[in-house]
Amino acid sequence: MEFGLLSLIIFLPFFVAMGVLFFPFSAQMTRNIAFATSVIILFLAFKIYYEFELTGYLQLREYHLWMKSYGINYSLGIDGFSLIIMMLIATLIPCAYLMLWDGRTKGYWVSMLLIQTGISGTLFSQDLILFYFFWEAMLLPVFMIIGMFGTGNRVHSTIKITIYTILGSLFMFVCILYLGVQFYHEYGLWSFEMSDLMVISTISRTESLWLFFGFMLAFAIKIPLFPFHTWLLETYSNSPTGGVFLLSSIMAKLGVYAIVRFMMPLFPKLYVEFAPYMMWLGIFGLLYFGIAALMQINIKKMFAYSSASHLGFIVAGIFSLNTYGLTGAAYLIIAHAMATGGIFLLIGKMEYSIGIKAIPALGGIAKQAPLFTTFFAIMLLCIIGLPGTNGFVSEFLIILGTFKFHPTAGIVSAFTVLVAAIFMFWMFQRVILQKTSNDISDMVDLNFKEVLGMLPLAVMIISMGVYPDFFLYKIEPTIQHYLINILHIGVK
């Protein structure tokens, strides 16, 4: 039985994690091995990206029988949409290792390895049972990181997010089983392969509605979308830096990815029918979470709501039903993950140094830590959507896409982005530039490893903003395939 590059990317971190657990390696040695593993995966991802053909269909397919009697198989594949998210994950995780380099335990690094396996498996799975397996598996190490290494009432936060996510996932699991049963009744054999479940024709509209919203519930909780966000603030506040980084930069983005990758082909008619409602829900989230961010005095909570606001913007893009919105949403997934990931890693550095998280108590950091300030400014400018950053390209495309779908939606989203930009500049002036009477002499600037960790994110933010075509051309065939061959609405 032969396995390809996708399997290697999935299981290399898992086997490394199992290996270091059974040997008496120190925390430092485990960290070094885990970092080396993430770098190897980055090179494998570059190889796949370079060799990826410009087509909207799945590539690097791997298919092996697993539970033959029940139609459950080990089925993997990658298209243009999952390709760019693979590159995002492969780039972000080594950068996070460099920023989290000191003061972590062996269990922390093992959890990071296991998370990478779960994330990659979720991204590449084409069998829905296999997808569900990895979807659940990637949560367990995150819960361990929050529960064991968090602050405040971390146990309560862990239980809360566990109940939320498992409840949503159980609804999705029931829907997956229902689709498998319907396929068996119609064709006489079991299968949970995406390409097979797409051709089921015996499901009524009422059944389809239940299935559509069953899947949507699981993904809305993970993103999170309003009103399934009540776990957000407490979890982000009590999570360690690595946990917040993973939740905001990677796992939330997988919720958006899953909507496009699974709900669009399984329920194309309902996807188009409910697109206006979902787009307006995304825009409402953009407004609601943006206003909530304005109300915060805790910088970690402020960026938690800011992150949720941008995720609402991404959801509006994926339901705009045109190439501008979908392409912009895919691009904003990358831009937002890099910027918020970098911001939360930098906030973690600041919190570790001076322990101050309230915005009124901060200030003077620009003079104390110029390198920190430089990278913080680049990440913030990306979130704002300043021209010359990938944030501008993605937000411009989404606004254009929502405007084509409905002019009022485009105007509202553009106005909200402008207000958010004004607030972010105000926050930057207070947190970084203004003088303060508080003692921040313990604030330590970035060291060489931390600069090395932030530099790729800064370079990508600027290069993707200056020359977006170089990065967009890999995903455009997939976007066109979704619109023409799956939704049957043509390219707009």
In the chain, the percentage of residues whose pLDDT exceeds 70 is 96
| Segment 154-189, tens digit of pLDDT | 777 777 777 888 888 888 999 999 999 998 888 888
| Segment 223-269, tens digit of pLDDT | 888 887 777 777 777 777 777 788 788 888 888 889 988 999 999 88
Residue 131, pLDDT > 70, answer yes
State the DSSP string of 193-242: BHHHHTT-----HHHHHHHHHHHHHHHHHHTTPTTS-TTHHHHHHHS-HH
* Secondary structure of residue 304 in the 3-state scheme: helix
- Structure confidence at residue 1 (pLDDT): 44
Query: Crossing angle for the helix pair 128-137 and 154-187, nearest 10 degrees?
Result: 170
- Structure confidence at residue 78 (pLDDT): 92
Residue 193 phi, psi (nearest 5): -70, 135
The neighbouring-strand residues paired with 67 are 72
Question: Per the structure block, which two tokens stand in for 347?
Answer: 């906030």
Closest CA to 327 of 77, 44, 136, 80: 80
- Structure confidence at residue 8 (pLDDT): 93
* Secondary structure of residue 118 in the 3-state scheme: helix
Question: Per the structure block, which two tokens stand in for 142?
Answer: 């995150």
Q: Are 424 and 391 in contact (CB under 8 A)?
A: no
Residue 492, pLDDT > 60, answer no
CA distance 250 to 314: 14
CA distance 460 to 378: 11
Q: Are 36 and 94 in contact (CB under 8 A)?
A: no
| Segment 184-226, tens digit of pLDDT | 888 888 889 888 888 888 888 888 899 999 999 988 888 888 8
- Structure confidence at residue 80 (pLDDT): 87
| Segment 47-67, tens digit of pLDDT | 999 888 888 788 888 888 888
Q: Are 245 and 344 in contact (CB under 8 A)?
A: yes
Residues 6 or more apart in contact with residue 331 via CB below 8 angstroms: 390, 393, 394, 397, 464, 468, 471, 472
CA distance 212 to 195: 17
Which whole number is the average pLDDT over 133-138? 88
Which whole number is the average pLDDT over 438-463? 84
CA distance 282 to 309: 8
CA distance 445 to 370: 7
| Segment 287-319, tens digit of pLDDT | 888 888 878 778 778 888 888 888 888 888 889
